[in-house]
Amino acid sequence: MRPLVSRSKFFRALAWIVPGGALLGVSVVLAVMAFPAAASPTHNRGHKGDGVTVSKAPYGTLADGTAIDQYTLANQHGMTVKIITYGGIVTEIDTPDRHGKIANVALGFDNLADYVAKSPYFGAIIGRYANRIAKGTFTLDGTTYHLPINNGVNSLHGGIMGFDKHVWSATVVPDGLKLSYTSVDGEEGYPGTMKVDVTYTLTSKNALRIDYHATTDKATIINLTNHTYFNLAGEGSGDVFDQVLWLKAHNYTPVDATLIPTGVIAPVAGTPFDFTKPTAIGLRIREADPQIVIAQGYDHNFVIDRPAGDSSLILISKAFDPASGRVLKTWTTEPGVQLYTGNFLDGTLVGPSHHTYRQGDAFTLETQHYPDSPNEPAFPSTVLRPSQTFTSTTVYAFSADGHK
């Protein structure tokens, strides 16, 4: 569907925003200590730098006896990312603040049972279709398909047993982990057997890169994302209302009362959806704007400013926590991003820090095609045909303001 963006092109592009001009491209990782040791030897690309290590530990067992593993990606600059094979969930992202103090900036749980029983998609791979499809129905090449209704009158995040609830097979790769899953023809109502790979890699410059790759044997639809809930002050530290957000989006897709896009591409100018200048997330989150009222906060797809059909990897967002100095820059090849402020967190879920999560305690930046695209011909297409390969890349790059 889209051309893959080469790493060298990405790092060339990234270099211009790196303070001090540090060229990420010349320090791209470097060495990998893979697990199990026999599976993958140390990799060295001929550059000097710090190594990224990948290690594996048991994370519990599902009711049917399936063992789940947790992989830890760690670099030499204080960043650690933990991923489990259940749902490909990013369970933890540890990253330093401006004083070098490490915090886990991803909401989650400290045990597998909670992920299985009650997770609101914390950190998970979302598929086959991220976000909603109206009334769980779409028509492709003259055939109408019906998906499970699991969110009011709509189908959300791939249905009842979406990609977030399956066990993925893991392969250690240089600097990270490749997760693979085959979704059989008809699974959750979607046509075609789909083979999906999601590769998480950590760089020595504190960026988590996610590469998606999928093929199908019948015409189908696809929209993949990662559902990490970020709080740059640390999970369980309270709300994100003082955290400042910039989005490269002059337009968004307003929704109806069931959170399905109306089909209109609306300008953000003059609304609480205008993040074209860095603005505190909480500044307008209680305004009586009808769209804010419907969603009880932000739960909207922003239309990234880019030429139609462009799928180059570009910087689309910068989030900043003034208190800790942590910065999150997001890069993607996708045309949209869902900003969701954890509006449905109601204080009943408890995170690893043993604090409850409430409305507004996180924000997501779910890079994606627009919700309900199969029913909106004017939106960028989410159709994948057997002759095509789906690729998508998102990079979450962490840094700290003023960090030496």
Residues engaged in binding ligand BGC (CB under 6 A)? 120-121, 131, 259, 299, 338, 340, 344, 366
CA–CA separation, 242 and 321 (whole Å): 7
Quick one: 201 or 394, whose CB is closer to ligand BGC? 394
Quick one: 365 or 395, whose CB is closer to ligand BGC? 365
Task: Name the residue with the smallest CB distance to ligand BGC.
Answer: 120
Query: Rounded to the nearest 10 degrees, how much is the dihedral formed by the CA atoms of 80, 83, 89, 90?
Result: 0
CA–CA separation, 77 and 54 (whole Å): 15
* Phi, psi for residue 362 in degrees, rounded to 5: -160, 165
CB of 344 to ligand BGC, least distance (A): 5
CB of 120 to ligand BGC, least distance (A): 4
Tokens of 294: 């419907």
188 is catalytic: no
Select from 316, 258, 321 the least CA-distant residue to 98: 321
The count of other CB atoms within 10 Å of the CB of residue 142 is: 5
CA–CA separation, 355 and 349 (whole Å): 8
Quick one: 237 or 367, whose CB is closer to ligand BGC? 367
Question: Under a CB-based contact definition with an 8 Å cutoff, are residues 172 and 159 in contact?
Answer: no
CB of 319 to ligand BGC, least distance (A): 17
CB of 259 to ligand BGC, least distance (A): 6
Quick one: 120 or 238, whose CB is closer to ligand BGC? 120
* Phi, psi for residue 361 in degrees, rounded to 5: -85, 0
Catalytic residue, chosen from 92, 235, 366, 376, is 366
Question: Under a CB-based contact definition with an 8 Å cutoff, are residues 303 and 252 in contact?
Answer: yes
CB of 30 to ligand BGC, least distance (A): 35
Tokens of 48: 């000097």
Quick one: 24 or 259, whose CB is closer to ligand BGC? 259
Catalytic residue, chosen from 157, 227, 300, 369, is 227
227 is catalytic: yes
The one-letter code for the residue type at 29 is: V
Hey, which residues are catalytic here? 227, 366
